[in-house]
Structure 1
Amino acid sequence: MEIRVLASGSKGNMTLIKVGDESFFIDAGISISKVKKKMDDYSESIEKVETLFLTHEHSDHIIGLKGLLKLKTIKKVFLTEGTLKGLGSELTELLPEFEIIKADKEFNYNGVSIYPVMLSHDANEPVGFIFKKEFKKLVLLTDTGYVHESYYELLKDAQMYIVEANHNPSLLMNSKRPYYLKQRILNEKGHLSNLDAAILMNKVIENDKKAVWVIAHISEDCNTIQDIEEAIVSTFDTTSKVEVYFSSQESLDVIFI
């Protein structure tokens, strides 16, 4: 598998995954002009990506969807019924062939096993994804206030995790954000804090199986790289079991697993 994070954070989210001859977009949270530029930077052709997976309908995950669909290069869209209803008529009318998926209902598409994971977020029916192809496994979980422990076994043994560590609660509470927004981020339908994310990752990455963690959806004003690193060091049994990358609004170098 090849993974390219085109953008990650509250200003926009989009990822490109290549599995053999198949290429998938996860979300479309940046403008089509930015998508084209980032794909050009990677020497990738946007016309060759015919499949799109949507995690949920919030604007930082779909703001570029209209422009992407108007290109008519996307032939198949996978999304939950709740996300479909949340898109609105203008976008749903542009959708090509689409398939309704449900959390915890695994399916196969062009030789790739895909398991939608139920998330806890203030969207209609948000999901994360586990992609598996032969012995390769990728987990993508962002925009969730917590991950239920019943998923821990399912999440183990991946070579790569794209999982959010959104905020430092202390920085968030001392920020200039309105109180209602602070409460939204902190509650069980908000976002994972650094500590919550580190606890989760320490449990699903086993000590004898090193994995890559691409830390996603990092708050620009309520988090720092140092805060995330401190949470990892204070929580992990051993930091040698994880290789960490930090995503942002800038394209992340291709990662192979």
Structure 2
Amino acid sequence: MEIYVLASGSKGNMTYLKVGHIKLFVDAGISYKRIREKMEAYDQDLYDVKSILITHEHSDHVTGLRLLLKNKIIEDVYLTSGTYEALSDEVKILIKNVHIIKSEDTFDVLGLKVSTFMVSHDANQPVGYVIEDGSKKVCFVNDTGYVDQVYYDLLSNADCYLLEANHHPTKLMQSPRPFLLKKRILGERGHLSNDDAAWLINRFVNNKDSKWIVTHISEDCNSVLDIEESIVKAFDDPTKVEVFYATKDGLPVIKI
């Protein structure tokens, strides 16, 4: 598997997954212009990608979807009924093949096994994804206030995690952001803190070398040092996970 993070953060989220001849996107939260530029920078052909998985309808996850559809690049769109209903009519009418999925569902996409799980976020039926090709497993766990323990087995022992460590709570509370926004982020339908994320990764990875792509990092209420401090506190063995930090500018290709 090859994982290309085109962008991550409050200004846009998008990932390109390549497994041999299989190619798909997870979310499209950046402009069509940036999508083209990032794919060219990766030396990847945008027109080879015909399928996309959508986690939820917030603009930082679907901004580029309309033009991907209008330019006849994406044909198959996988999303929950709630996410579909929350899209604009202009976007919905452009979808050639809509695949309505359910949380806690398992289905096939281009030969890949995709499992969904519920996340806790202030969106309309948001989901996370676990994608497997028979030998490798990657988990997308973004935009959630917590992860229900019923999904721990599903998420355990993956080869790679794209899991958010959004904020340092103290920095968030001391920031000039409006109180209601702070309350939203800290709430159970908001975002994972550094400590939350590090605890989860330590719980999920058991005697297996894994990669953690830290996603959705707040630019003003977090830092790499803050995240590393949480890792040191939470991990029983910090060497068991290789950590990468995704930014608004993306990340070089990660191979698993």
Q: Is this a same-fold pair by TM over 0.5?
A: yes
In structure 2, the residue matched to 1:168 is 168
Q: By how many angstroms is 1:251 displaced?
A: 2.5
Residues 1:68 and 2:68 are matched in the alignment: yes
Residues 1:244 and 2:243 are matched in the alignment: yes
Describe the superposition over 1:192-216 as per-residue Cα deviations: whole angstroms up to 9, x where unpaired: 000000111100011x211000000
In structure 2, the residue matched to 1:233 is 232
Q: By how many angstroms is 1:6 displaced?
A: 0.1
Amino acid at match of 1:254: V
CA distance in 1: counterparts of 2:214 and 2:30, whole angstroms? 19
In structure 1, the residue matched to 2:85 is 85
Contact 2:6 2:16 in 1 (8 A): yes
CA distance in 1: counterparts of 2:128 and 2:31, whole angstroms? 22
Q: Report SS of the residue matched to 2:196.
A: helix
Q: Report SS of the residue matched to 1:173.
A: helix
List, as ranges, runs of 4+ consecutive aligned residues in structure 1 with deviation greater than 3 Å: none
In structure 1, the residue matched to 2:129 is 129
In structure 1, the residue matched to 2:255 is 256
Contact 2:69 2:75 in 1 (8 A): no
Contact 2:51 2:75 in 1 (8 A): yes
Describe the superposition over 1:56-77 as per-residue Cα deviations: whole angstroms up to 9, x where unpaired: 0001001111111111111100
5+ residue gaps, structure 1, are none
Amino acid at match of 2:244: Y
Describe the superposition over 1:33-78 as per-residue Cα deviations: whole angstroms up to 9, x where unpaired: 0000000001001000000110000010011111111111111000
Q: Taking structure 1 as the reference length, what is the TM-score of the superposition? A: 0.98
In structure 1, the residue matched to 2:185 is 185
Contact 2:27 2:62 in 1 (8 A): yes
Q: How many residues in Structure 1 have an aligned counterpart in Structure 2? A: 256
Q: Please, which moves more after superposition, 122-131 or 62-71?
A: 62-71
Q: By how many angstroms is 1:109 displaced?
A: 2.1
Amino acid at match of 1:67: L
CA distance in 2: counterparts of 1:117 and 1:21, whole angstroms? 26
Amino acid at match of 2:141: L
Q: Taking structure 2 as the reference length, what is the TM-score of the superposition? A: 0.99
Amino acid at match of 1:140: F
Overall identity of the aligned pairs, in %: 50
In structure 2, the residue matched to 1:25 is 25
Q: By how many angstroms is 1:13 displaced?
A: 0.3
In structure 2, the residue matched to 1:152 is 152
Residues 112-123 of structure 1 mapped to structure 2, 5 A cutoff: 112-123=112-123
Describe the superposition over 1:213-238 as per-residue Cα deviations: whole angstroms up to 9, x where unpaired: 00000000010110000000001001
Describe the superposition over 1:121-145 as per-residue Cα deviations: whole angstroms up to 9, x where unpaired: 0000101100001111000110000
CA distance in 2: counterparts of 1:107 and 1:92, whole angstroms? 22
CA distance in 2: counterparts of 1:238 and 1:157, whole angstroms? 15
In structure 2, the residue matched to 1:110 is 110
In structure 2, the residue matched to 1:12 is 12
Amino acid at match of 2:44: E
In structure 1, the residue matched to 2:214 is 215
CA distance in 1: counterparts of 2:35 and 2:181, whole angstroms? 29
Describe the superposition over 1:60-114 as per-residue Cα deviations: whole angstroms up to 9, x where unpaired: 0011111111111111000000000110211111111010001111111222100
CA distance in 1: counterparts of 2:62 and 2:113, whole angstroms? 24
Contact 2:117 2:128 in 1 (8 A): yes
